[in-house]
Structure 1
Amino acid sequence: MGSNEAYYKTEDEFNETKNEKSMDVWTVTGEMKGEKTYSYEEAINLAGNGGYTIGLLATLSMTVLAMGCDMFGFSVVVAGLTCDLEVTPGQRGVLMSMPFLGAIIMSYPWGYISDTKGRHRSLMVAMLGTFLATSLSAFSPHWIMLAVLKFVSTSCCSCAQSVTYALLGESASERVRGPYMLTMTGVLMLTPSTYFVAGYFILNFEFSYDLGFIRFVPWRLLVLVLVTPVAISILLLRFFFESPKFLANAGHEDEAVELLKKIWLRNGGKGEYPVTKLILNEDKNKRTEKVPFLKSLREQTAPLFQRPLLWRTLQLYYLTAIMYSVNNGYLMWYPFIANAFFSGISTATPDQHGGLCNMVISSQNVTTVEPEICSPKLEFLTVISSIGHSISFAIINVLMSRGASRMKLMMIALLAISGGSGVAIVFTTNNVASLILFIGVMAIGLCIGIVFSYFNKLYPASYRGMTACLGVMVARVSSLIGTNILGTYIMQNCYTCFYAFTVYIFSGLVVAFFLPADRPKKTS
């Protein structure tokens, strides 16, 4: 067996073949002292579940909520600043692209940093950078400066999308790991409620303070309010530790054992923590050694695109591309689509039906003799529909956490619902039914937590951060493409967009059938 084989085995596969032996592994020193050497999974399971892991779940949930507000809440900020900065439709499109462009550029570096410098350290630096850049953006005198600062802030907070899952997955016991990851994704689903409610109330304020170089108006206050979760996450992260698995994988077994003891104590452990020796079921992270940077970068990335991980990497990245291009594309343009839809509803006669696409297209063809008045405010029904969408999805995600052992089945079901809704929406003329089906299409967003759970489950710790961060890069490229396609075509070619995206979703459904079985058969 080659020395590099452990890089290519998933942790679950290795544990299946080594489970019985790992229980009887003793180091020479350990045997003399009567000390058993534990595998990492055994050690983290013994650390239990309690105050520390629940607190870490809450903190990382706040971190992904902060990331969502910074990235996706920007769509509401753009709606609010249109009048003040007098941005054109083209400039608005550039601004809407910045959250994804920043993540595309920095996802790869964050993967390398988190795998070589640590999960916790990466998050602290990233969220601090997000806080500074976003806070400064509230005082931008021009849309170009705002775009640059949004690029910087989202370049930093893109770290949170993947590193939070790695840190939580490596710090929680096996029993709660899957449910906790889906719960954290459920909190992410609450993001639209957070920024839509804040946007509705703040953008309805009417104030203007002359600061000399800018006028401080409601959208600037909204930016400062939406960055508050970032500040809270930075403060909370200071009370938690680095991933013990990262330290063990980097060759610092003693430090890892010490952190495991601290986790055990904060989880309510009593007596003496039994683990004094650790053994990993995979090779240590060679990227922590002193090697040339380019060689280190290649060694960190190349195994993901070599057999036998190649097929799994391509499979998961393709599913990631589908989920993010569809979900985030619709999500970023949701304020404009919903406003167009409810505007069409308000001008239609009581017996008039047309469905979502007819309402959206009609809203673009309305002519009036009155001069157009620029308004930064959100429609009340748009906010209510967004709250209903995000809360219902968050509840579903929490319920999904109870079936974390059935991830493949849940992903297939959600893709089928999303694709089926896309087919039905183009044939539906009832307005209410079409809006419900539109929410059904966005059910694909519920798969996000599942696919990131697969990144944590199917790859060794040495590559887990890089795999997930490259996944974020794929996600943001896909989101950027989806957002621009929808922004260009949805208002005039609504039906064509739904046809194309539905075919795309069904292709993902086919790929999902080839994921690992939820409950693989045990071999003798």
Structure 2
Amino acid sequence: MIAQDKSLADIEKSVEKSKEVRFEDAIELTGHGKFNNFVLLTCGMIMLNVSMESVGMSYVITAAECELGLTSEDKGLITAAAFIGIITTSFLWGYLGDRYGRRAVMLPAMIASAAFSIASSFSSDVWMILVLRILTGCLVSASSATVYAYLGEMHVASKRASAIAWGSAFISFSFIILPGLAWLIIPGKWSWQWGAIRLSPWRVFMWSWCAPGLLASLALLILPESPRYLLAAKGPQAALPVLAAMYAWNEGKTADCFPVEKVASTNMELTKSGFVGAIQNISLLFRPPLLRCVIISHISMFAVFMLSSGLYMWVPDILNNILNSKSEYSITICEIIHNKFQMAHNITLELADNACHNEVSVGVFPISMGMGAVFAITYLAIGIFIDKIGKKTMYCGIMFICGIATIGAAFIPQGGAATALLIVALCSGCAASILAAISVDVFPTCLRAMAMCVMYMVGRAGAAVGSNLLGATLDTHCQLAFTFFGAFTSGSMLLLFFWPKPEKIRAIMEQKGLCY
């Protein structure tokens, strides 16, 4: 802290002698206070919105099963719909975020996504809800990864990792809020007929998760564009008013008091304009030295999402099986799932009528909320210790522990212990924020949004692969599936040992005329 204060004092002395300073020195002078906290809160709400829109349908499909006539295949498609939308449009939003700005892309897309999400709650059949959920996912995709670039660029390098970690903690709140709201709303027996649509509790539940996105949209109306984006896209002087505004918020003064009259020009090229220029910039991601970073970060993010999100989509069903198990002996969750599979198969052969029954054990909701609390504690611990332990060390430790817990959950013949290990395994999702903090440092400003969007696109592809793999193997090859997931997760951490030094990458890219 003393060294940091001394460094800041040196910058201030330099500014007194000359009103023209480098961008990095100028952003240091804006300080760290109310503005940064407001940005952190806004970005946290955006991440909360993305998470709730992505996994919220896992609490809806059982309640909506009879009303919409959903089959098991329909449920799989609907829960994957948002991921499909996010995956298919991530590249486009990454290009637009680097071309037109982070805030300029996120704000309209978030408002539109809330509109489509609310519209999907009025669906009368499976195809209507499927199409509207995919369109919602397409719009949610705009902020799903761009928000990490925006949050990171609003902070100095020394605060960036912890800011991303603290912002990502809001993702864990979705795993508390969603089951909490579902517990309050979905078990309700009321319904109203509104024209051709019957308003049921599950439809109102879908409205409730749109609130964070709408609140974040209002906050973005107040916040400015990323100064680092403006530096890269329009030059140093375009970034100066934003830096002055940041200073005014943090110091409680007017923007005119900002002690910088001019940000020093650099020899960096501005972001190349047009589609052809964007393709030329993007091609840098697939050439050394960034190629190694792209391969490592994308495979690692695939592993994180395959376990955390892929497994999470099945956890309510697994917990339901554990809670409803009638076995008098201690058996593994895989044996519970297999017994249920056999029972369901026998019932299907013997059932004479086609009456629709959909019941969810109420005990699933408090357990899910407890999982969310564990995630929140993990995220907060990451925010506190990431700068002390180190990003790479913390990431590798979390992935190894979660991989081992995944394998153990399938073999321990005790429901409570297996549930605890499942919760630990799902904490692998917290490693995504650390990986984002590691990755955001090596990509130039003009490529950052694209790189993050594509990385999260690959990650969500991992969620879809993981969910479908478990769906195909849980009933018949449960222990093998859990073993594979755990081994792949633990093994993926080895890739980080080949991660290059960020300073070396930055030096090479700056020689090519790209700025950070």
Query: Which residue of structure 2 aligns with residue 360 of structure 1?
Result: 337
Residues 327-376 of structure 1, C-alpha deviation per residue, up to 9 Å, x if partnerless? 110112222122122212xx222xx1012222222222235688787455
- How far does residue 174 in structure 1 lie from its aligned partner after superposition? 3.2
Please state whether the residue corresponding to 2:122 is helix, strand or coil: coil
Query: Which residue of structure 2 aligns with residue 277 of structure 1?
Result: 262
Please state whether the residue corresponding to 1:215 is helix, strand or coil: strand
How far apart are the structure 1 equivalents of 2:281 and 2:318? 42
Contact 1:408 1:518 in 2 (8 A): no
- How far does residue 269 in structure 1 lie from its aligned partner after superposition? 4.9
- How far does residue 286 in structure 1 lie from its aligned partner after superposition? 2.8
- How far does residue 284 in structure 1 lie from its aligned partner after superposition? 3.4
Letter in 1 for 2:134: F
- How far does residue 214 in structure 1 lie from its aligned partner after superposition? 1.6
Asked if 1:454 corresponds to 2:438, the answer is yes
How far apart are the structure 1 equivalents of 2:378 and 2:496? 20
Letter in 2 for 1:299: Q
Unaligned 5+ residue runs, structure 1? 1-18
TM-score using structure 1 length = 0.87
* Of 425-434 and 408-417, the range deviating more from structure 2: 425-434
Alignment of 1:202-351 (within 5 A): 202-270=185-253, 272-279=257-264, 283-287=268-272, 289=273, 291=274, 293=275, 295-344=276-325, 347-349=326-328
1:147 aligns with one of 116, 124, 130: 130
Please state whether the residue corresponding to 1:458 is helix, strand or coil: coil
- Cα gap change, 1:285 to 1:425, in 2 (>3 Å): same
Please state whether the residue corresponding to 1:490 is helix, strand or coil: helix
Please state whether the residue corresponding to 2:251 is helix, strand or coil: coil
Query: Which residue of structure 2 aligns with residue 6 of structure 1?
Result: none
Residues 173-223 of structure 1, C-alpha deviation per residue, up to 9 Å, x if partnerless? 334322121011111012121111111221111122222222111111111
Letter in 1 for 2:332: G
1:106 aligns with one of 89, 95, 117: 89
How far apart are the structure 1 equivalents of 2:430 and 2:62? 26
Residues 304-332 of structure 1, C-alpha deviation per residue, up to 9 Å, x if partnerless? 11011111110011101100111110112
How far apart are the structure 2 equivalents of 1:280 and 1:395? 44
- How far does residue 506 in structure 1 lie from its aligned partner after superposition? 2.7
- How far does residue 385 in structure 1 lie from its aligned partner after superposition? 1.5
Please tell me the root mean square deviation across aligned C-alpha atoms, in Å: 2.5
How far apart are the structure 1 equivalents of 2:184 and 2:355? 20
How far apart are the structure 2 equivalents of 1:282 and 1:460? 15
Query: Which residue of structure 1 aligns with residue 401 of structure 2?
Result: 417
Query: Which residue of structure 2 aligns with residue 70 of structure 1?
Result: 53
How many residue pairs were aligned?
A: 486
Query: Which residue of structure 2 aligns with residue 389 of structure 1?
Result: 371
Contact 1:158 1:472 in 2 (8 A): no
Letter in 2 for 1:348: S
Query: Which residue of structure 1 aligns with residue 145 of structure 2?
Result: 162
Unaligned 5+ residue runs, structure 2? 1-6, 505-516
Residues 88-117 of structure 1, C-alpha deviation per residue, up to 9 Å, x if partnerless? 111112212211110111100110111110
Alignment of 1:410-449 (within 5 A): 410-449=394-433
Query: Hey, which of these two has a bigger chunk of helix by percent?
Result: 2
- How far does residue 282 in structure 1 lie from its aligned partner after superposition? 7.5
How far apart are the structure 1 equivalents of 2:397 and 2:270? 37
Contact 1:209 1:217 in 2 (8 A): yes
Letter in 2 for 1:496: L
The sequence identity of aligned pairs, in percent, is: 23
- How far does residue 279 in structure 1 lie from its aligned partner after superposition? 4.2
Contact 2:105 2:142 in 1 (8 A): yes
How far apart are the structure 2 equivalents of 1:322 and 1:141? 36
Letter in 2 for 1:491: D
How far apart are the structure 1 equivalents of 2:382 and 2:209? 28
Query: Which residue of structure 2 aligns with residue 96 of structure 1?
Result: 79
Query: Which residue of structure 1 aligns with residue 168 of structure 2?
Result: 185
- How far does residue 453 in structure 1 lie from its aligned partner after superposition? 0.9
- How far does residue 518 in structure 1 lie from its aligned partner after superposition? 10
- How far does residue 69 in structure 1 lie from its aligned partner after superposition? 0.9
* Of 262-271 and 303-312, the range deviating more from structure 2: 262-271
Please state whether the residue corresponding to 1:210 is helix, strand or coil: strand
Contact 1:186 1:397 in 2 (8 A): yes
Alignment of 1:392-407 (within 5 A): 392-405=374-387, 406-407=390-391
* Of 355-364 and 239-248, the range deviating more from structure 2: 355-364
Contact 1:327 1:445 in 2 (8 A): yes
How far apart are the structure 2 equivalents of 1:281 and 1:361? 65
Letter in 2 for 1:434: A
- How far does residue 444 in structure 1 lie from its aligned partner after superposition? 1.3
Query: Which residue of structure 2 aligns with residue 463 of structure 1?
Result: 447
* Of 64-73 and 172-181, the range deviating more from structure 2: 172-181
Letter in 1 for 2:315: Y
* Of 172-181 and 97-106, the range deviating more from structure 2: 172-181
1:480 aligns with one of 454, 461, 464: 464
Letter in 1 for 2:337: V
TM-score using structure 2 length = 0.89
How far apart are the structure 1 equivalents of 2:358 and 2:367? 18
Contact 1:408 1:517 in 2 (8 A): no
Alignment of 1:20-169 (within 5 A): 35-169=18-152
Letter in 2 for 1:96: T
Residues 254-302 of structure 1, C-alpha deviation per residue, up to 9 Å, x if partnerless? 2311111111111125483222222477733433x3x4x2x23312311
How far apart are the structure 1 equivalents of 2:266 and 2:11? 12
How far apart are the structure 1 equivalents of 2:342 and 2:503? 54
Contact 2:404 2:487 in 1 (8 A): no
